[in-house]
Amino acid sequence: MASRADFERQALKHIDQLYYAALRIAGDLGDAEDLVQETYLKAYKAWPNMVEIRDCKAWLFKIMINAWNNERLRRSKEIYLSEGENSELALAESGHASRNSNPEAQTEIRLLAEAAERALREMPEELRVLIHFADIEGFSYKEISDILSIPMGTVMSRLFRARNLLEKSMASFYPNPGPGSHD
Amino acid sequence: MIDCADLNEKLYLYLDSAIGKELKEEIESHLASCEDCRGRFEFLHRLRNSMRGRASSISAPQHLKEEILFEIKRRRMAKARKFAAFGGLGAVALLLLSLALPGLFKPHMKTSLGDFGVLYDSYIQGALKADFLSQDVDKAEAWFREKQFAVTLPRASLAGYDLTGVSLREVAKRHSAVSLYEDQKSKEKLAYIAFKDKKLNINFPRMEAVSGKYLFVTRHDLHSFVFWRDGALVNILISDDPEENLLEYARICVKLIDVGKPSK
């Protein structure tokens, strides 16, 4: 396990993913930064006692979700992404849009990803987060179940629902004969 | 064989690699023969890649990284200062208990480090230079002096002590309790220690793992740690408590040394 020097090496390397997820969850740049910072400080505090960091990234996400749930509880209201809040997410993303040097691929990725982003905004948070964890972060059902503290069956059923919603809202991108043909 | 309707249900499982080999082969066979389903699969694959590509373009702001690193460093330094100022016999006695024991600081034991980890980190750096991962207490003492930890090191450890038979009541007066535990399977006698002092705010520990000769005990929030081997206390560590708690904790540990008797 894990010395304190390991923390900087093993935990901080996930900061970009945590930040992106925090933007999606919190919606606000300031809240996202606070959430990431709080996540890391909590993680740092617990770090010396970690017997084995089998999956550091999932562990960090779990801390973040708990921290956000606590914050939400404190604010005593549900916070969903609003249009304005998401413009901050778009702002965060736009600063890095030029990284891909292949213009054609960049365009395709951007159009698809932007459409997906719009579709995700329309989803309830509980579904949006699942898409993020499964499709963007690549967590397994079991890992998502652990992170969100919900049963694996719930993860699977919600994820199925979320992806169907996403897929249908992406119909204009869909190749012939369209996503509804198999329904 | 699966058809298009079946695939509609299972394609996401396939995308997630959450299916068995047999079903995977069936799906791949269907995809190979069905243009519509293959188109859908490829689209979903592209969609996922596009979302991941977008994600990979996001970086946390540099100032956020710097703030986190700064805060971590600040906390680490604050603890280091606390220990440098602390410097009491008790704490280092506690540390030395572990230090003087064979094999205790093998990598797998680092899990027990809490606040002492600050000192420990320094210790390890020094240890590598001074080569006192052996039980050479003189070298250890010299190293501590060099690092200006103004301490007197006890030249004893609990390795040769067996606390079996120590009066629970007697120890309880010292705000802690040592109990024996018999492994139901192996019938091997193990022990655990509980700290009851309210000032320490330590709850009865729960048992983390018992395997043969070893018994690990931690507090529910993992802040304190006790490690027994072969019925003898070989390590106690604690973390994240205020300095006064650490001092008190160290005193308790020193008292435990006092009450511990050689087994022979």
Got the DSSP string for A46-109?
HGGG-S--S-HHHHHHHHHHHHHHHHHHHHTS-----HHHHHHHHHHHHTTGGG---HHHHHHH
Q: pLDDT > 70: what percent of chain B?
A: 29
Check residue A26 and give its pLDDT.
84
Which residues 39-58 on chain B approach chain A with CB closer than 8 angstroms?
39-40, 42-44, 46-55, 57-58
Cβ neighbours for A53, distance < 8 A, ≥ 6 positions apart: A1, A2, A10, A59
Cβ pair B93, B235 in contact under 8 A: no
d(CA A56, CA A14): 9
Q: Is the pLDDT of residue B9 over 90?
A: no
How close is the nearest chain A Cα to the Cα of B65, in Å? Answer: 8
d(CA A22, CA A35): 7
Task: Give B-chain residues touching A36 at CB under 8 angstroms.
Answer: 60, 64, 68
B42 → chain A, closest CA residue: A175
Residue A9's pLDDT band, with cuts at 50, 70 and 90, is confident
Check residue B244 and give its pLDDT.
46
Check residue A40 and give its pLDDT.
92
How does pLDDT run across B39-84, given as a tens digit for each residue? Answer: 888 888 888 888 888 888 888 888 888 888 877 777 776 665 555 4
Check residue B226 and give its pLDDT.
40
Rounded to an integer, the average pLDDT of B81-91 is 46
By the CB < 8 Å criterion, does A42 face chain B? no
Q: How many CA atoms lie within 13 A of A35 on its CB side?
A: 31
Residue contact B67–A37, C-beta within 8 A: yes
By the CB < 8 Å criterion, does A176 face chain B? yes
Task: Give A-chain residues touching B223 at CB under 8 angstroms.
Answer: 49
Residue contact A117–B240, C-beta within 8 A: no
More confident residue, B190 or B133: B190
Rounded to an integer, the average pLDDT of B85-91 is 43
Rounded to an integer, the average pLDDT of B217-231 is 37
| Mutate: best of A15, A23, A51, A166, partner B, most B CBs <10 A | A51
Radius of gyration of chain B (CA): 27
Tokens 């995308």 sit on residue? B15
What is the DSSP-derived secondary structure letter of residue A137? S
How does pLDDT run across A58-112, given as a tens digit for each residue? Answer: 989 999 999 988 887 777 544 433 333 444 454 454 444 444 455 666 677 778 8
State the ipTM, two decimals. 0.75
- Max mean pLDDT range (A86-90, A121-125, B109-113): A121-125
Task: Give B-chain residues touching A1 at CB under 8 angstroms.
Answer: 107-108, 110-111
Q: How many CA atoms lie within 13 A of A171 on its CB side?
A: 10
d(CA A50, CA A46): 7
